[in-house]
Amino acid sequence: MKYDAPPTLTDRELFVAMELGDPWHDAQMTEVWAYLYNHAGLSIPCSWQQTMREFDVQLMSTLA
C-alpha cells in the first residue's frame, strides 16, 4: 500500500502517524512482531524505545 509521506517528518514521526489497521493481522505479522520485539538480542535506540513500547501495547491489545 502506497503512503504519501510528508517529507518534513522524521522516520519515527512517520511510524507513529501510520494507522495500525488490519494489514498486520492479514499478513500474520503480529506473531513476527511479538517474536522480534521480545527477543533477548533486540536493541532499540533510546529515541525509539517509548514509541516501540506504545506500539507493542497497541498491537497486542488488538488480539484480545
**What digits encode the pLDDT tens for the residues 30-41?**
888 999 999 999
What is d(CA 61, CA 24) in angstroms, rounded to the nearest whole number? Answer: 13
Grid cell in block for residue 45? 535506540
Domain boundaries, the chain: 11-61
Residue type, 11: D
User: When comparing pLDDT for 60 and 54, which is higher?
Assistant: 54
Residue 24 near residue 33 (C-beta atoms within 8 A): yes
Q: Which residue has the cell 491489545?
A: 61
Grid cell in block for residue 56? 507493542
**Mean pLDDT estimate for the chain:** 86
53: pLDDT confidence band, cut at 50, 70 and 90?
very high
Closest CA to 12 of 61, 36, 42, 48: 48
Reported pTM: 0.77
